[in-house]
């Protein structure tokens, strides 16, 4: 059986943020990446960081050839955070913090004071889909590391309209894919030094709907590679730093946990976190029974761990105090690549992530001109 790919906190996406934080004069406590650090010493006019959602090593291998522009510029393979999901990984990228520090660890988090699981990016009840009015929350919006930059670079962000930003003056919103690359070109051609933090929501969305190996995913990833080549050719004295928040794998089937009434009766609340990293809060007198039952029924597709042991191993980072948000147990999807379905309203994806399998590996791409 293939081994899980665990976060390497010295070769991780958070180390990109740590390196850029130091470059921008921001206090940093995390390890930096020597290859990127050396490149940043060359005093480029423009430094552009881009996160392409879902563009991990697995999707790249399945959809690009060795001669494609992005592939030729991969300098290093890094790991994502765990869970390898957008809520967790992008928060670590933006804040230069470990998952255990920021707590935005999964799509659905348990808010004990209202006895609900909430989709934290949408503020929706994870079971009903209804909007939840949140008066207090165990999760806070942290300042992005570049918001406190002490540098002669002007700070710019490029985000879709649904991404929260504190400094709206420096933010550039795009609604169409082509506009994303056009905005980057305009910023890079401005006078003076420009730093850009940019996020692009594909190929993640396409792969969820169609699968990693689909023609649609191939077109999306080829579009990104070709658009980056064109952008690099239209800018001067610019360093492009590219990564993904996570990769994806093709889903082979769905495990409908919400139909298992016997197991759900052992829980304080239905499962949460994410569908290939499933967190369980178990009734105190049912923990032994739960472990035996889960392992006997689901061990082929999910490996069950005590949450406190994962924390002790550093899976969520080496610092932080948000362990109380992660439940008693976490079931991690194996290389059978199945997706758990936690509620009747949960989406059944064709491509997904959040586990410790091939979706954990992402590229560090450096393009210089």
Judged by phi (left if over 0) then psi (alpha if -120 to 50, else beta), residue 96 lies in left
Does residue 81 share a domain with residue 53?
A: yes
Cα 318 to Cα 9: distance, rounded to the nearest angstrom: 8
Question: Residue 135 pLDDT more than 80?
Answer: no
Query: Which SS3 state, helix, strand or coil, does residue 58 take?
Result: helix
What's the pLDDT score for residue 260? 98
pLDDT tens string 239-260: 999 999 999 999 999 999 999 9
Does residue 112 share a domain with residue 196?
A: no
Does residue 260 share a domain with residue 338?
A: yes
pLDDT grade for 25, boundaries at 50, 70 and 90: very high
Does residue 133 share a domain with residue 144?
A: no
Does residue 325 share a domain with residue 281?
A: yes
- Reference 32, options 42, 21, 18; nearest CA is 18
Question: Which residues constitute the domain of residue 84?
Answer: 13-99+140-249+358-368
Work out the average pLDDT over 301-327: 97
Does residue 274 share a domain with residue 195?
A: no
Question: Residue 165 pLDDT more than 80?
Answer: yes
CB 291 within 8 Å of CB 329: yes
Work out the average pLDDT over 175-189: 94
CA atoms within 13 A on the CB side of 126: 25
What's the pLDDT score for residue 197? 98
Max mean pLDDT range (42-56, 134-148, 172-186):
42-56
Distances (CA, A) of 61 to 67, 131, 353, 359: 12, 39, 16, 12
Does residue 289 share a domain with residue 226?
A: no
Does residue 161 share a domain with residue 212?
A: yes
Does residue 155 share a domain with residue 48?
A: yes
5 within domain boundaries? no
Cα 158 to Cα 333: distance, rounded to the nearest angstrom: 33
Do the bridges between strand 338-340 and strand 329-333 make them parallel or antiparallel, or are there none, so unpaired? unpaired
What's the pLDDT score for residue 177? 84
What's the pLDDT score for residue 18? 98
pLDDT tens string 196-254: 999 999 999 999 999 999 999 999 999 999 999 999 999 999 999 999 999 999 999 99
Does residue 229 share a domain with residue 177?
A: yes
1 within domain boundaries? no
pLDDT grade for 7, boundaries at 50, 70 and 90: very high
When divided into structural domains, the chain yields a total of: 2
Question: Residue 26 pLDDT more than 90?
Answer: yes
CB 77 within 8 Å of CB 57: yes
Task: Please provide the distance, in angstroms rounded to a whole number, between the alpha carbons at the two ends of the chain.
Answer: 43
């Amino acid at each position: 059986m293939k081994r899980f790919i665990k976060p390497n906190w010295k070769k991780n996406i958070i180390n990109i943020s740590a390196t850029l934080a130091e470059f921008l004069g921001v206090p940093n406590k995390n390890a930096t990446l020597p290859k990127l650090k050396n490149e940043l010493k060359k005093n480029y006019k423009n430094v552009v960081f881009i996160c392409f959602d879902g563009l991990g090593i697995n999707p790249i291998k399945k959809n690009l050839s060795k001669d494609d522009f992005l592939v030729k510029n991969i300098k290093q393979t890094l790991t994502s955070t765990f869970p390898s999901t957008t809520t967790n990984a992008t928060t670590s990228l933006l804040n230069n913090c470990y998952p255990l520090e920021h707590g935005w660890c999964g799509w659905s988090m348990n808010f004990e004071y209202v006895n609900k699981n909430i989709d934290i990016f949408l503020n929706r009840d994870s079971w009903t889909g209804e909007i939840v009015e949140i008066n207090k929350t165990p999760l806070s919006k942290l300042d992005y590391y570049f918001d406190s930059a002490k540098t002669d670079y002007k700070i710019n962000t490029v985000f879709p309209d649904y991404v929260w930003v504190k400094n709206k003056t420096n933010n550039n919103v795009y609604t169409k894919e082509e506009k994303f690359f056009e905005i980057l070109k305009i910023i890079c051609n401005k006078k003076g030094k420009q730093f850009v933090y940019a996020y692009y929501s594909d190929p993640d969305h396409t792969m969820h709907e169609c699968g990693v190996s689909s023609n649609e995913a191939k077109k999306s990833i080829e579009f990104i590679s070709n658009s980056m080549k064109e952008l690099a050719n239209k800018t001067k004295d610019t360093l492009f730093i590219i990564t993904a928040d996570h990769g994806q794998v093709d889903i082979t089937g769905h495990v409908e946990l919400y139909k298992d009434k016997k197991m759900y009766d052992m829980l304080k609340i239905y499962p949460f976190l994410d569908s290939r990293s499933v967190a369980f809060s178990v009734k105190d007198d049912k923990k032994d029974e739960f472990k035996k039952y889960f392992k006997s029924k689901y061990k082929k597709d999910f490996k069950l761990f005590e949450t406190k042991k994962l924390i002790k191993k550093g899976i969520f980072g080496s610092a932080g105090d948000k362990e109380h948000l992660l439940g008693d147990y976490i079931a991690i999807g194996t290389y059978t690549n199945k997706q758990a379905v936690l509620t009747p309203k949960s989406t059944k994806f064709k491509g997904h992530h959040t586990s410790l399998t091939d979706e954990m590996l992402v590229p560090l791409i450096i393009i210089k001109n």
